[in-house]
A and B are shown apart, each in its own frame.
Chain A
Amino acid sequence: MISREIVQKFKKIVGKDNVLADKSELLVYECDGLTFHKAAPEAIVFVHSAQQVAEIVKVAHNEGIPFLARGAGTGLSGGCMPVEGGIIIEMSRMKRILEVNLEDRYVVVEPGVINLELSKAVNKFGYYYAPDPSSQMACTIGGNIAENAGGPHCLKYGMTTNHVLALEIVLPNGDLMHLGSPTADYPSYDLVGLFVGSEGTFGVVTKAWLRLTRLPQQIKTMLAAFHSMLDATDTTSDIIAAGVIPAALEIIDQVTIQTVEASVYAAGYPKEAAAVLLIEVDGLKAGMDELAEKMATICRRHRAFEIRTARDDKERDQLWAGRKKAFGAAGRLNANLYLADTVVPRTKLSEVLGKVYDIAAQYSLTVANVFHAGDGNLHPVFVYNGKDKEETERMLKACEEILKVSVEAGGVISGEHGVGFEKKEFMELIFTPIDLTVMQKVKDVFNPQGLCNPGKVFPMRKSCGETSVLDKIKQKGYDFFPV
């Protein structure tokens, strides 16, 4: 337990109103968007500057207290769940946009800036920040960097890692350090690229230089509805094969369509459709109509029974709302949701998706699929009742099977949500002990004591020097299978 003296030290650094150490106040910090696992922190420290982060981390480092940084807590792999207790450094108050440099097309921001707010702030200049995770209305840049967040439009524009130019970080020993530069080809190992996606285990981001992207001259968003899922996935393959990389290519399945349409997020998707394909193309106006027609022809060839193009921004937003709020709408189906995030080669999409439905049927579960079809990134959502222990176990087994069939098809266990706490035991499905040892060596360079976000990414027995978190959880009596 953190002593009163240490809490006093924290209060001295950030002010007494910026430390929460009362048990009742800590409850909301027990988990992130993955509500399945929970563990309570011992204190929350709200920071307002890089200097404060450095000082807090230094105290934690000297006292041997586990710590992790948390933004909006929208992550879906338990990345900011404090599995070993310790403190959470709350970053959301570091939310200033420090510089907008249009000439060099980058911004400098603090990590607590909300993803969508950043785009809004630069839209008036004709720019935006391209990575758009579905939680972009809430999630923060710091979390995006830690997880290497994706989103529907990374099909064309790449993930977070392709848009981070430089970082200011606090290392797990409390040292403040710059990585990289907003100028090109900085002569060093690509530590920025290494840091992005390190899931909060290499240190805390305190400032980020991010690339801005020019708003496209025109955007066309189309909906194509199919009577069979196979037709929809075949359409996506054919679009890619036709030499077009749309800005986004998303599939929404029947369960989701019906759920969304019955909810406040109703997007006007045809209810009788087995699958809806959202196609977005962007770029220059010249040739765009022809390009859209080309897409439509491919859809028709695969028996699309309805093709609709958004006529204005409002219609476009409506089409997207169904996709982006699908997860929220699925909450209507049952008490709890569990979302998987595997990626398979594009050519294996239909096959693996078929297996996902088979697995759900085999385990008598309801599964909804809303996914980034263009990338081969599947998002099966299981709806289950968490109070039902037996159903919960079945659901977990089904998820494990999905990971396995994805890996067997040449895929991976996470496309954009991260390994975090949730999937660490499955790392061995894709990595050998040597692969993991190399990763561990690199982690040890940044985080030799293992105090920075412990219990993540690595399977338990591979994580040298860290005692079993599961054991600790048992000892501490954490609510491991919560509602």
Chain B
Amino acid sequence: MTTIDGLEPRDTFSPTTIQELSECLAQAEREGNAITPVGGGTKLAWGNIPSRVDYVVRTEHFNRILDYEPADLTVSVESGCRFSTLQKVLREHGQFLPIDPPYSEQATIGGVVACNASGPLRFRYGPVRDMVIGMKVVHASGEVSKAGGRVVKNVSGYDLCKLYTGSYGTLGIIAEVNFKLQPMPESEKTGVVCFAALSEALEGVRKILNSQLTPSAMELVDPEALTVINRELRTELVGFALFLRFSGLSQAIRWEISEITDHLFTESRIVIFDDDTHQTAWNILVDFDKYVERGNKNRVVLKFSVPFHKMAEFFESTREMAKTLSYVTFNMAHVGNGIVYSYLTGDPMDERIKEKFVLALKQVRERTARSGGSAVVQAAPPPIKRVVDVWGFDRGELRLMKAIKEKLDPKHILNPGRFVDRI
């Protein structure tokens, strides 16, 4: 049976219809039993430890693509459908959902949406929330409601899709999602520019942002993380590697590649990937956690969201943090979006290291807060999560969030404790 952050549920349900799901929730609410919704189970380590887990509700039977009309460039899909299954069907029609979440083989649509699990492609296409155009949600009471619709442009009623996307299952269980889609680019290539130092790499990013180049994703990888990628890709990239994903018309991509090689970075080592290597490289970048996890069960994944001019500082601070803990850190960044992922690995945390970690996290959060950003513990073993709040969020709008939770889940049965301020 699936455990949730070490908590053992009393029972697991796998409803086969919305009706059953609805009855399941209504019953749980009557009994006051807490529910944790589970899709592919790939992100169960995300979020705070739930305060209670009585039942696990699996969406595995909600796996149908309900309506796909390629000429509409939209799709309606059940939440338990695997993300990879949907992409495969869309690709057959030359279309795709421009989201590249981690664990994309096993992850389900519901989990990707509930956790707003965006990847590097967000640089061009935006985060998950920008793709969702409609939803069907089952509420704690068992009532089923919809938000949005099947069309790409819609201001009829409040945009509740935004509220549910990224709410970690604390406001309702997503049963169906409608997305707007994108046509597949005619061609794709990756240009990797290697820089000797972080400052040079960030200067390189600045150059790109100020140029006419239109990469669909930009991922900056530090030397430690690069060792993992070199191993998997059998490459010999060095230093701070900037992975630039170019997607579009073949001619345009040729021009973009020539811009980086002949104009912008004539002094740097540049490697171009196409076809298989290009695809494999992005699979590894997106699923980096999987590769770190392989050798290191004791890992803490931190996610910093900061203004661009602060990126260097937070790359640096994670190294300091690792040093304090005698840990190794692998850093990579959705550099165009100001997001740094830091994978800290080392010995199991004893009390002493744990104490140090709590302190270091507090300090780094003070700095992110000053810059208007955030530092989230994306994943960590339960013993760590027992002593920290993974979100570190305590601003004024919590009052509104709690009031929304109170209205939509008054008995706190939906993933209680999971989200910010253990809502």
Contact = CB atoms under 8 A, between A and B. Distances in A.
Interface string B142-154: 0111110111111
Contacts of A285: 255
Contacts of B156: 412-414, 419, 423, 427, 430-431
Contacts of B118: 185
Interface string A405-441: 0000011111111110001000100111011111101
A196 interface: yes
Interface string B202-220: 0000100110101000000
Interface in A269-300: 283-287, 290-291
A69 B310 CA distance: 36
Contacts of A430: 149, 156-157
A438 B249 CA distance: 44
A283 B151 contact: no
A404 B60 CA distance: 36
B154 A415 contact: yes
Contact of A179 (B122, B127, B372, B397): B397
Interface of A is mostly: loop
B160 interface: yes
Most buried by A among B147, B184, B392: B147
Contacts of A154: 153
Given A412-B156, A415-B155, A194 B163 contact: yes
Nearest to A420: B155
B393 interface: yes
B157 A445 contact: no
A418 B72 CA distance: 23
B153 A415 contact: yes
B308 interface: yes
A396 interface: no
B163 to A, nearest CB: 5
Contacts of A191: 397, 400-401
Contacts of B26: none
B214 A237 contact: no
B73 to A, nearest CB: 6
Given A183-B373, A283-B214, A442-B407, A434 B249 contact: no
A198 B71 CA distance: 30
A142 to B, nearest CB: 16
Given A183-B305, A376-B152, A438-B139, A177 B397 contact: yes
A345 interface: yes
B391 A183 contact: no
Contacts of B371: 183
A345 B337 CA distance: 32
A150 B153 contact: yes
A411 B152 CA distance: 10
A346 B73 contact: yes
A104 B373 CA distance: 12
Interface stretch (A7-15, A155-163, A304-312): A155-163
Contact of A290 (B143, B184, B251): B251
A244 B147 CA distance: 28
B338 A240 contact: no
Contacts of B6: none
B71 A446 contact: no
B145 A438 contact: yes
B144 A185 contact: no
B407 A444 contact: yes
Interface string A217-238: 1000000000000000000010
Interface in A75-118: 101, 103-105
Interface in B57-104: 69-74, 94-95
Contact of A345 (B129, B151, B396, B408): B151
Interface string B275-319: 000000000000000000000000000010111110000000000
A154 B116 CA distance: 22
Nearest to B255: A286
A265 to B, nearest CB: 25
B397 A185 contact: no
A193 B152 contact: no
Q: Which has the most chain B C-beta neighbours within 10 Å: A192, A283, A343, A444?
A: A343
A441 B400 CA distance: 12
A187 B151 contact: no
A158 to B, nearest CB: 6
